[in-house]
Every structure is written in C-alpha cells, then in structure tokens.
Amino acid sequence: MSMTALGLCARWTHVGAGVFLVGTFAFLLLAGRSDRLTVVAWERRLTRWTRWAAGLLLLSGLLSLSYQAAVVTGRSEDALSAATMLRVAGATQFGTVWLLRHGLLLLLAGLILLREREESGWDWAAFRGEGLLLGGTGLGLLAWAGHAAAVEPGGLAAAGADALHLLAVGVWLGGLLPLALLLRAAGQEVGADARPFAVLAARSFSQISLIAVLAVAATGIWNASNQIGNVASLLGTRYGHLLLLKLGLFVPILALAAVNRLRLLPALSGEAETVGRPAMRRLASFVALESALGAAILGVVILMSVTPPGRHAEPWWPLPFRFAYPPPHDVAGAGTRLLVGSQVALVGVLGLVAGWFLGWRRRLVVGVAAAVLVAGLGVALPPLAVEAYPTTYRRSPIPYQAASIADGRHLYATHCAACHGRTAEGDGPDAAGLPRKPANLSDPHVGRHTAGDLFWWLTRGIPGSGMSGFGDRLSEAERWDVVNFLRTVSAAGRARGLTAVVEPDRPWLVAPDFTYAVGPGASRSLKDYRGRRLVLLVLFTLPDSRPRLGQLARNYDILQTMGADVVAAPTDGGDQIISRLGASPRILFPVVTDGAREIVAAYSLFQPAAWRSPPTHVEYLIDRQGYLRARWTPDARDWAEATGLLAEIQQLNQETISVPPAEEHVH
Amino acid sequence: MRLWKAIALLNLALGVGLLIGYLWWGREASRLRQETTLTIQAGAAALEEREWAVRGVVRSVIPEINVLVVTHEDIPGFMPSMTMGFRAANPKLYAGVQVGDLIRFTLKGVPPNVTIVAITREGKS
Amino acid sequence: MSRPGLVALALLLWGAAWTGAHSLLDHADPRAASTVKTAPAQVRIWFTESLEPAFSSLRVVDEAGRRVDKGDGRVDPSNLKLLRVSLPPLPPGTYKVTWRVLSVDSHVTEGDFTFRVAP
C-alpha cells in the first residue's frame, strides 16, 4: 500500500475514533444513570470500546505526524525520521495544533483508565463531562490544522465554524453507535429491564441530534462558501465533486433519520411483543446503517482535506449551458418572459409553502404548486441559457497586467487582425472569404462572455464559422495573453465616455497592473501604490509633452502632499529618455526607462483614439483601489491648469471606499 | 481522592496553564516587537563610518548647493531604492555629469551624513 | 447520478494521484517568463496563503544548473505570504527560480519559472 493511502487511513482512523469518543461521552451524559443489569453491561462494553478508541486515536495521531513529516520534506523516508517529526511538531502551525491536541488526548486516555474508581454521582458526571470536554476540544482543534486555517480574511471565524461543525458531527454521528448498541441490547428478550431506559435515551438523542444536524448543515454551508464559493467550483472541481459525494451520502442518512424519528420512535412504546421490540430492533439496525454511512462520509472528508479547495482550483464546467443575466445575446422578448415566468414560479413557491402548512388536500395542492413552479421556470429560464464550455469558468492564470496585454496585442496583430481587423471591429482584409462575418471584438457584448469562453473559442475554434483553433499554434499562456488583450479592448470600448472629471463613488474600470523601473532603481508596480497613493499615469511624447511635464514637475510637491504620485512613460519606448528630457526644468518624478513599451501598449487602448499609432499625450488618474477614474488629453481644458487636476485628486481623497480592490485576473 | 475532585483539579490546572500560556505569548509578542524596533533604531544609528558602491541615474545636478539628485538602487543597511539628493565631496566630481547619465558612485560617511566621494559614468538612460 | 456512476466516481477519485496545490503563486518579481534590462537584486514571490517559514524555500539557478542566489531564501518575517532571496549582480542570461512551500493548512506546493536578464 502506498505511503499516501497509509497516511489517509491514519487520518481517517484518527477522526473516526475522535468522533466516536465525543459522541459516546455525550450520549452517556444524555442517557443518564441507571443500575439495570442490561444498561450496566452496555456501559461496561462501551467503556471497553472507548479504551480501544483512545489507543487508536493516539496511535493514528502519531502516524499522522509521521505522514506529515514525509509530506513536508517530500521524502518518504522522513516518515521515520524523529528529527523531521520534531521539526514539524515544533515549527509549524500543524505541529502546534498537533502537540496541543495530543496533550489533551493523553489526558483523555488517562481519564478513561481511571474509570474504575467511579463512586458517587459527582464522579459519574465529572467523568463523562470531562471526557466530552477533552475529546471535544481535541476534535474541534483539528479545524486549525486544515483548510479553514488558511482562509483570509476571517480565518478565525472560518476555523471556528469548522470546529463547531466537527463538534456537532461528533455529538450526532458519534452518538449513533452507542445508541445502536443500546437498542440492540434492549431489543432482545433478556434486555427487557433496559427497555424504558433505552426508549427515553433514544428520544432525548433524537432531540439533541436534530439540533446537531441543523448545526452541521449551517456550519457546512458556511464552510462550503468559504472553500468553494460558487457553483462553477462546486460542479467543476474535484473538491466540489467530493462535496457533492458527501452530500449524496448525507441524503440517505437524513432519510433514515426521518423514518426513525417519525415512524419508529413513536412505535417504541407500543405493545412490547408485537410493536415495541420489532420496532426497536429495526431502529437498531437503521441506526447502525446510519453510522456506517457516517463513517463513509468521514472518508470523503479526509479526501477533501488533502484536495485543493475549490476556490483555488480551476473549475472544469461539466454542462453544455449556463444561465447568464443579462444574456450575452439579446433574445427577443427575454425580458417579458423572465418577468412572467418568475411571477408564475413565485406563485408556485407560495403554493408549495401554503400546501405544506394547510394540511387540507396537501398532496393535491403541493402537486399543482410544483407543476406551476416548473412551468414558471420553464418560461423564465430558457432565454437566459447560453452555451457554455469546459473552460467557461476558468480564471486566467496570467494576471491582468500591462506586459500580458502588450504580448496579447502583438499576438493579435500577428494571428487575428487579418480577419478581425486591425482595430478589432471584425473588418479585416480576409474577412470576406469566411462563411460567417468575424465577430466585432470591440463590441460591448464581448464583455458579457466570460474570459473562459474566449479562451475556449481561441483554443478550439468555432465550427462552421471560419474561426480556427489556436491550441496548437499558441501556448496556453499566449492564449491567455490574447484574452487579457481582448478584455482591455472591450473595457476600452466601454470607457469611451471617460472624461477628466471623476465620477464620484463610481469606480468600475480596472487599471491593468504594470511594473516599471527608473534606471538601476528597484522595479515597482502599480499594485505597490494600492491602498496608499493615487497615481497619475502620464503617457508622453517628445518634444510635444515637455512643457506639460515641466508643469507637473513644478507642482510635484503639491501633488505628493495631496497623496498622488506621478509615473511618466514615454510612448516611443524610452531609449535614453531621461537624457532626452534634459536638465531644465528639473523633473524628479519617476520617468519609466524599463517597462514603458508594455505600459503604452496597454494604456494607449484607453485613449479616445485607441488605435492611433504612435499614441499621443494622455494622462490617467488611478485611485487607491486600482481603478482608472479619469482621463485627460491636452485638447481638453480641465487639467491644463494644475488646479483642475488637484480638484479631481481632492475629490478622490474625500471618497469613502465603497468597492473591493480591483481584481487582478479577468473573468 | 474522589474521581470528581481529581477531575476538577485537572481542569483547574489546564485553565491555569492556558492563562499562563496566553500571558507568556502576549509578553513574547511585545518583546519581539520591541526587539524589532530596537534593531531598526540600532541599524539607523550605527555610529561608524561606512562606504557603499551604488548605481543610479542622474535626475538633476544642483551646483549651487553642491547636490546631485539620483534615482538609485537599494543601499543595503541604509535606504531602499528611491530618488534622493546627495552632497558631493567636491564639485569636480560632477563636472561633465549630465541629467540621464547612468553612474556608479561611492557613498561614504556616518549615516545619515553621507557624501559622494567618487563617480564613474557608465552610460546614458 | 446513478449508483454505478457514484461508485465509479468514488473509485476514480480514490485512484487519482493526490497532488495538493494549495498555496498558489500569486505574482512574482521579476515576473515569470519576463525579460529585465537590469539584473534584479532579489527575487520575490507572493503566494495566496500564509507560509510555514520552517519548510518553505526558493533557489535560483543559471542555465548550467549552478545555484546563483545568496542562499538566504526564506519567508519574509513581516509578510508570511512573501518568499524572497537575494542575488549577487547577475550577468545576462536565463535564470530559473524553483520554489517549494508549505502553507499553514499543512499542504505542500512546488513550482518553478524562469526570467531573463537582457544583455
């Protein structure tokens, strides 16, 4: 058996034993004291099992540490290296949590051995309470060594929710086995003395487990939203599939639990020979089945713990369609259909709720309401359905950066412009010979397709349209560069109306990140200014821009005092640009000597005349969240005097931050 | 001793241990913070003369006050890469140096009082 | 999904290789696959999750596979998501950065990228 399988088995045993111990102590507390012979025998048996469980818990814990030692160094022989294990325990968060937990688990093991000395009622409660406390803390702390620990921000809340999830699972799932054993003992002919005790215990457990299951569901949804986040990751990643598998195992458990609660539990107090005992035996086997399914769920959970969470993995969309609002293509009457359909569906939902509570002809009402709901959805949804592809929800692995956009622009000119046109309007010289007119890529509707859609078409082509696939000609990174470029073109199309006046509190246009250096100075990125400074990005030409640069230089100290920095990039690429600028008037703000070509290739697209070559002087004001907020060209008066520019900067300074920072990857 | 008493004692010990651990952690954290500040201050106030060879691009020459403004690379242990004015030990050093020149210069002195003591031109930028 | 489908899925998932990719490279300076005019004084890589300093490292090698960094590759003490190593003045050429990190959720990720120092 492989190292990994062994390590996973150890973890599974560890969690399983922990859950069993927590559930058993909780159940013993819940069931109360009894001196009936059958109950005493059952308790003795459980105690024996807890000893085994505690032993297994410690052993599998040790194995988990040794497995982790092999994982962190990547050498399987380190699983047996005491030195590596000590380093893992001493110098990682996993190790800290491990030490803490195993300290508590050792105490728990000692406690279980002391059980024999129980004398009074106080002893009875203290023993079980302490077992629950130590076992529960040991189980809950696991949350701080798993995926939840890495959630940011809100790691404490995420780990807390995960801990609560584990505890609720412990109380509920771990309590099933003791319950099954008790019911089986009491369901036999000789166990008659324990029957009232068993019935009462089953009822209290039923109440507690209902609360626990609700807690499991609530914290589970919270965990899933932290680790997966969206439908694409649920349906399209391995982590999401494991969660679906987990839910798939959870549904039969819930069905069994419902049968137990609604049918078998009331039957327990019936006539012993004909109703009570058969019901009790069936309940015992159903509960045992539930706990077996629970053990399978724990197996899935262990697999999830070593799988990258959905939020980090790239989803592979399994369906040929998705729902989009608004739809990328305008379908006639879609708005009306959506309105009518959603209202009909709402009536269906109300009918369902009403039917459930009315009780009057419930089946008929519920059936009709369900039909109305389906009909409503049938009217509303089809216009929203758009074709989807496996890569539809892929996020670009290449950040939305000037360098990538510049590369994409170059690739576009080489491979795409012949058909789609130099300015991306679908009017290239080769367009005429194609079966379908090439898409106008500067049209706003392009922005309504996901980046993953574009990537798919770029990779595989569009059958029957003349668009061929570039999967074999361009590398994956190059295709994403083209997607980043197309995103810029589409954003620039929507930015036509951008002016020199900041629209208050309405940032929407993401400023692509860029990296620059001045001479041998360290390179800096736009992102370095994030949250701290505004940036005035100036694309300039010589000699026309020299007076304007001099004016900005004279006002540089005021600009800096107001929280704005200036970055100037020459549109001609910048060979010896500082020498060419000359000594007077003195310019001390960053003049890009390294990276200007990329900045200009990307940012010139946001100019009013986006495709003019070479580009002319233009200035962009970028806010602290990374959004492009205003644009000035010398033909406008607004910033011709420095006061005009300062007024816009002041406007941005007064703004309350209302949106999250600009995304670094296109969607 | 009764079992429940033993357990109560155990929990008391765990609680006290937790408290002590928490206090120790808090003290350790503030000690580390202090140490960091001290180290930074010590680094800034090192009272010995030092010398660096630094590359930079000349942004401005101001002979009236004998200063060269340079966008320079990181100066280890002194300052990160930035645009900064440095006094020259001797006006002859920057004779012929023009804005945009790529230079390698030697800084010497007791921080923060450093002066340029040598300049070599490497090209234009 | 049908029962056999579920079983098949479970088997598929069991049989698959478990390579965890948890703390992912967010961005790097110099940028992956980029060409820089001036040799960088250090390589910095930002990750998506906090790293364990004891088991996270990076190294830079030249085309011949010789290690060229100053051997001080480690997690930045003030930013646990940042891994950095300093470099001596590098001659022009292509350099490969290899990293292997352990994130706080106990998973290991490794990877590499290259950058080029232009003559």
Q: Which residues of B are less than 8 Å from A127 in CB distance? A: 3-4, 7
Classify residue C1: in a domain, yes or no.
no
pLDDT tens digits, A114-130? 766 677 888 888 889 99
Classify residue C3: in a domain, yes or no.
no
Mean of per-residue pLDDT scores for chain A: 89
Domain coordinates in residue numbering, chain B: 1-45, 50-124
Question: Residue A141 pLDDT > 90, yes or no?
Answer: yes
Q: How far is A519 from chain C (nearest CA, A)?
A: 8
Q: Which residues of C are less than 8 Å from A519 in CB distance? A: 38
Look at residues A352, A434, A423, A440 and name the one whose alpha carbon lies nearest to residue A613.
A423
Using CB atoms, which residue from A308, A515, A520 is nearest to C38? A520
Residue of A155 and A462 predicted with greater confidence: A462
Contact call for A245 and C24, based on CB within 8 A: no
Residue of B nearest to A585 (CA): B60
Q: CA of C11: how far to CAs of A16, A239, A336, C4, in Å? A: 21, 15, 47, 10
Residue of A149 and A135 predicted with greater confidence: A135
The set of chains that have 3 or more CB pairs under 8 A with C is A
Q: How confident is the model at residue A207 (pLDDT cuts 50, 70, 90)?
A: very high
Look at residues A273, A279, A258, A284 and name the one whose alpha carbon lies nearest to residue A42.
A284
Retrieve residue A503's tokens: 């629209």
Mean pLDDT of A36-56: 93
Q: Which residues of B are less than 8 Å from A521 in CB distance? A: 56-57, 71-73, 81-83
Mean of per-residue pLDDT scores for chain C: 78
Using CB atoms, which residue from A73, A74, A245 is nearest to C10? A245
What gap in Å lies between CA B94 and CA A510, rounded to an integer? 44
Classify residue C6: in a domain, yes or no.
no
**Residue-level pLDDT at C12:** 38
**Host H or E run for residue A490:** helix A476-494
What gap in Å lies between CA A18 and CA A137, rounded to an integer? 10
Q: Which residues of A are less than 8 Å from B69 in CB distance? A: 586, 588
Residue of C42 and A17 predicted with greater confidence: A17
Please state, for a pLDDT cut of 70, what percent of chain A lies above it: 97
Q: Which residues of A are less than 8 Å from C10 in CB distance? A: 245
Contact call for B124 and A581, based on CB within 8 A: no
Q: Which residues of B are less than 8 Å from A554 in CB distance? A: none
Contact call for A518 and B57, based on CB within 8 A: yes
Q: Which residues of A are less than 8 Å from C20 in CB distance? A: 306-308
Residues 6+ apart with CB under 8 A from A446: A439, A454, A486, A489, A490
**Host H or E run for residue C112:** strand C108-117
Q: CA of A156: how far to CAs of A143, A159, A280, A523, in Å? A: 10, 5, 43, 35
What gap in Å lies between CA A426 and CA A341, rounded to an integer? 36
- Residue of B1, B2, B3 to mutate when probing chain A, most A C-beta within 10 A: B3
Asked if A540 and A549 count as a contact pair (C-beta separation under 8 A), the reply is yes
**Host H or E run for residue A569:** strand A564-570
Q: How far is B51 from chain A (nearest CA, A)?
A: 19
Classify residue C12: in a domain, yes or no.
no
Asked if C50 and C18 count as a contact pair (C-beta separation under 8 A), the reply is no
Enumerate chain C positions whose Cβ falls within 8 A of a Cβ in A: 1, 6, 9-10, 13-14, 16, 18, 20-24, 26-27, 29-31, 33-34, 36-38, 40-41, 48-50, 52-55, 100, 102-108, 110
Classify residue C7: in a domain, yes or no.
no
Using CB atoms, which residue from A107, A118, A593 is nearest to B125? A593
How does DSSP classify residue A411?
H
Residue of C nearest to A237 (CA): C13
Residue of A nearest to B61 (CA): A583
The answer to whether the complex's ipTM is over 0.90 is: no
- Residue of A1, A244, A306, A475 to mutate when probing chain C, most C C-beta within 10 A: A306
Asked if A173 and A301 count as a contact pair (C-beta separation under 8 A), the reply is no
pLDDT tens digits, A356-397? 777 667 778 888 889 999 998 888 888 788 888 999 988 887
Question: Residue A272 pLDDT > 60, yes or no?
Answer: yes
Q: How confident is the model at residue B35 (pLDDT cuts 50, 70, 90)?
A: confident
Q: Which residues of A are less than 8 Å from C29 in CB distance? A: 515, 523, 525
Cite the beta strand spans of A380-523 per DSSP E. Answer: 385-387, 461-462, 467-468, 509-510, 515-516
pLDDT tens digits, A130-140? 999 999 999 99
Cβ-count burial of C24 within 10 angstroms (0-12 exposed, 13-18 middle, 19+ buried)? middle
**Residue-level pLDDT at C79:** 86
What gap in Å lies between CA A168 and CA A214, rounded to an integer? 9
Residue of B nearest to A575 (CA): B125
Asked if A606 and A492 count as a contact pair (C-beta separation under 8 A), the reply is yes
Number of domains in chain C: 1
Please state, for a pLDDT cut of 70, what percent of chain B lies above it: 94
Q: Give the CATH superfamily of A402-494.
A: Cytochrome c-like domain (1.10.760.10)
Q: How far is A88 from chain B (nearest CA, A)?
A: 20
Question: Residue A273 pLDDT > 80, yes or no?
Answer: no
Question: Residue B79 pLDDT > 90, yes or no?
Answer: no
Domain that holds residue C86: 19-117
Q: How far is B37 from chain A (nearest CA, A)?
A: 23
What radius of gyration do chain B's Cα atoms show? Answer: 28
Contact call for B4 and A133, based on CB within 8 A: no
Question: Residue C4 pLDDT > 60, yes or no?
Answer: no
Q: How far is A28 from chain B (nearest CA, A)?
A: 16
Question: Residue A555 pLDDT > 90, yes or no?
Answer: yes
Using CB atoms, which residue from A126, A520, A583 is nearest to B3? A126
Mean pLDDT of A592-602: 92
Is the CB of residue A475 less than 8 Å away from at least one CB of chain C?
A: no
Using CB atoms, which residue from B55, B71, B125 is nearest to A579? B125
Is the CB of residue A515 less than 8 Å away from at least one CB of chain B?
A: no
Contact call for A71 and C106, based on CB within 8 A: yes
Contact call for A664 and C27, based on CB within 8 A: yes
The set of chains that have 3 or more CB pairs under 8 A with A is B, C
* Fold designation for B50-124: OB fold (Dihydrolipoamide Acetyltransferase, E2P) (2.40.50)
Using CB atoms, which residue from C20, C33, C106 is nearest to A94? C106
Q: How would you classify residue B68: left for phi > 0, otherwise alpha for psi between -120 and 50, otherwise beta?
A: beta
Mean pLDDT of A633-642: 89
Residues 6+ apart with CB under 8 A from A526: A511, A512, A513, A514, A515, A535, A622, A626
Using CB atoms, which residue from A520, A522, A582 is nearest to B99? A582
Using CB atoms, which residue from B3, B55, B124 is nearest to A123? B3
**Residue-level pLDDT at A155:** 80
What gap in Å lies between CA A149 and CA C66, rounded to an integer? 37
Start-to-end CA distance of chain A, whole Å, equals 42
How does DSSP classify residue C39?
-
Interface A-B, measured as beta-carbon pairs within 8 A, has a size of 95
Q: Which residues of B are less than 8 Å from A588 in CB distance? A: 59-60, 69, 83
pLDDT tens digits, A10-30? 999 999 999 999 999 999 999
Please count the CA atoms within 13 angstroms of the CA of C6 that sit on its side-chain side.
11
Question: Residue C3 pLDDT > 70, yes or no?
Answer: no
**Residue-level pLDDT at C38:** 75
Relative orientation angle of helices A93-114 and A82-91, to the nearest 10 degrees: 100
Cβ-count burial of B23 within 10 angstroms (0-12 exposed, 13-18 middle, 19+ buried)? exposed
What gap in Å lies between CA B91 and CA B103, rounded to an integer? 16
Look at residues A505, A510, A516 and name the one whose alpha carbon lies nearest to residue A494.
A510
What gap in Å lies between CA A20 and CA A169, rounded to an integer? 10
What gap in Å lies between CA A626 and CA A509, rounded to an integer? 9
Classify residue C25: in a domain, yes or no.
yes
Classify residue C9: in a domain, yes or no.
no
Domain coordinates in residue numbering, chain A: 3-305, 321-387, 402-494, 509-654
CATH number of the domain to which C28 belongs: 2.60.40.1220
Please name the amino acid found at residue B52.
W
Mean pLDDT of A620-631: 94
Q: Give the CATH superfamily of A509-654.
A: Glutaredoxin (3.40.30.10)
**Residue-level pLDDT at A461:** 92
Please give the backbone phi and psi of residue A95, each rounded to the nearest 5 degrees, phi first.
Answer: -65, -45
pLDDT tens digits, A322-341? 887 766 566 667 778 888 88
Is the CB of residue A367 less than 8 Å away from at least one CB of chain C?
A: no
Q: Which residues of C are less than 8 Å from A307 in CB distance? A: 18, 20
Contact call for A523 and C34, based on CB within 8 A: no
Contact call for A307 and C33, based on CB within 8 A: no
Q: How far is C96 from chain A (nearest CA, A)?
A: 18
Contact call for C36 and A523, based on CB within 8 A: yes
A84-107 burial: b if 16+ Cβ within 10 Å, else e: bbebbbeebbbbebbebbbebbbb
**Residue-level pLDDT at C18:** 33
**Residue-level pLDDT at C83:** 93
Q: How confident is the model at residue C22 (pLDDT cuts 50, 70, 90)?
A: very low
Q: CA of B15: how far to CAs of A93, A97, A133, A484, B7, in Å? A: 22, 17, 13, 56, 12
Is the CB of residue A75 less than 8 Å away from at least one CB of chain C?
A: no
Classify residue C13: in a domain, yes or no.
no
What gap in Å lies between CA B106 and CA B86, rounded to an integer? 11
Q: How confident is the model at residue C16 (pLDDT cuts 50, 70, 90)?
A: very low
Asked if C45 and C100 count as a contact pair (C-beta separation under 8 A), the reply is no
Lowest mean pLDDT among A161-175, A638-652, B95-109, C3-17: C3-17
Contact call for B61 and A583, based on CB within 8 A: yes
